[in-house]
């Protein structure tokens, strides 16, 4: 697994680190009940994201921000907002993160701060910047529901796409992006699309981060490293032939446990990752 460290003079901050962590705290608060699909807590999380999309000025794709679907016996919905491109608006970049989590299990609340309130918060920060500074291509910001129940939200989007999948130049998925003891964020997908390694490297310039490539090949080929190709919402897009890139951290001691709380998130690292996410979209838009 390749890794590199980038440090030095940082570019001007475009992410609000206070709002970034406040969003994680809000989404992982007890009132959200762990955000399990079909629960009142999940609905509260949905309303939180919808209100932010409206406040930022993101436009619904069509008549509604919600792409509703059935997840087992529960009613579920992906939330989709758009910033129209300035030069090639009929081509799209997708920035995605799932907002559901495990809910309450055996009487214990699973708050899901890193998994995946962190991804949603980073997505919202990128949306805030791009809403004020549109890119050449249109950007769809998608908060998927029912990831924890088998990537059902992403599978529904791919089965009933809001845009022609061939017009998606990049799908960038975020799932667990706020915690790593070594200060490392992993970029998966470059084994399938080697040109994306340059995109990530350029996006990371000036950031105080360690970026590692990998987790996108079978374990036998990757010396035992787990293959994340189908482990989150980018999987169905990859299978459909869409160019995908995934940012995430390796599992930590609080993964899928009641102890995955916002107070354990290192603020500086998380803000750096959020800046990396935003810059990745900007670089991809310029080079796609």
Interval 214-251: pLDDT, tens = 999 888 887 888 999 999 999 999 999 999 999 999 99
- What per-residue string of b and e applies to 81-97 under the rule 16 or more CB within 10 Å gives b? bbbebeeeeebbbbbbb
Residue in 276, 98, 244, 260 with CA at minimum distance from that of residue 179: 260
pLDDT of residue 219: 81
Within 8 A by CB and 6+ apart from 251, the residues are: 176
When pLDDT is averaged across residues 3-7 and rounded to a whole number, the result is 52
Cα(233)–Cα(216) distance, rounded to whole angstroms? 14
pLDDT of residue 9: 41
Does the domain made of 2-287 have the CATH classification 3.40.190.10? no
Looking only at the bridges linking them, the beta strands covering 74-83 and 88-98 are unpaired
- The overall pTM is greater than 0.75: yes
When pLDDT is averaged across residues 147-164 and rounded to a whole number, the result is 97
When pLDDT is averaged across residues 170-187 and rounded to a whole number, the result is 97
pLDDT of residue 284: 98
When pLDDT is averaged across residues 53-82 and rounded to a whole number, the result is 95
**Alpha-carbon distances, residue 37 vs 102, 132, 151, 203 (angstroms):** 8, 32, 12, 34
Q: With bands split at pLDDT 50, 70 and 90, how would you rate the model's confidence at 51?
A: very high
Upper half-sphere CA count for residue 222 (Cβ side, 13 Å): 17
Residue ranges per structural domain of the chain: 2-287
220 or 138, greater pLDDT = 138
pLDDT at residue 95 is higher than 90 = yes
Residue in 170, 133, 114, 157 with CA at minimum distance from that of residue 56: 133
Listed in order, strand segments (DSSP E) in 54-151 are 59-60, 66-71, 74-83, 88-98, 103-105, 108-110, 137-144
Tens-place pLDDT, residues 182-213: 999 999 999 999 999 999 999 999 999 999 99
Tokens describing residue 53: 């999309």
Decide if 245 contacts 237 (C-beta within 8 A).
Answer: no
Residue in 15, 4, 10 with CA at minimum distance from that of residue 275: 15
């Amino acid at each position: 697994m390749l890794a590199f460290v980038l440090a030095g003079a940082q570019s001007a901050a475009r992410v609000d680190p206070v709002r970034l962590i406040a969003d994680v705290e809000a989404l992982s608060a007890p009132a959200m009940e762990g955000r399990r699909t079909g629960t009142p807590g999940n609905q509260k999380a949905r309303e939180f994201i919808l209100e932010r999309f409206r406040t930022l000025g993101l436009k619904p794709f069509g008549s509604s921000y919600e792409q509703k679907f059935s997840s087992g016996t529960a009613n579920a919905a992906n939330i989709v907002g758009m910033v129209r491109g300035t030069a090639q608006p009929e081509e799209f970049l997708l920035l995605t993160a799932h907002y559901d989590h495990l809910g309450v299990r055996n009487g214990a609340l699973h708050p899901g701060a890193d998994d995946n309130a962190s991804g949603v918060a980073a997505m919202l920060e990128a949306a805030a910047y791009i809403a004020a500074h549109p890119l050449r291509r249109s950007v769809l910001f998608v908060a998927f529901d029912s990831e924890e129940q088998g990537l059902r939200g992403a599978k529904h989007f791919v089965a009933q796409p809001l845009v022609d999948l061939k017009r998606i130049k990049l799908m960038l998925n975020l799932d667990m992006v706020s915690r790593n003891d070594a200060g490392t964020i992993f970029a998966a997908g470059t084994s399938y699309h080697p040109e994306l390694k340059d995109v990530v490297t350029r996006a990371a310039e000036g950031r105080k981060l360690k970026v590692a490539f990998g987790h996108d090949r079978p374990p036998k080929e990757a010396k035992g490293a787990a293959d994340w190709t189908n482990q989150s919402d980018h999987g169905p897009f990859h299978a459909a032939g869409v160019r995908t890139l995934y940012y995430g951290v390796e599992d930590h001691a609080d993964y899928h446990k009641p102890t995955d709380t916002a107070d354990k998130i290192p603020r500086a690292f998380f803000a750096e990752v959020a800046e990396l996410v935003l810059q990745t979209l900007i670089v991809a838009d310029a080079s796609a």
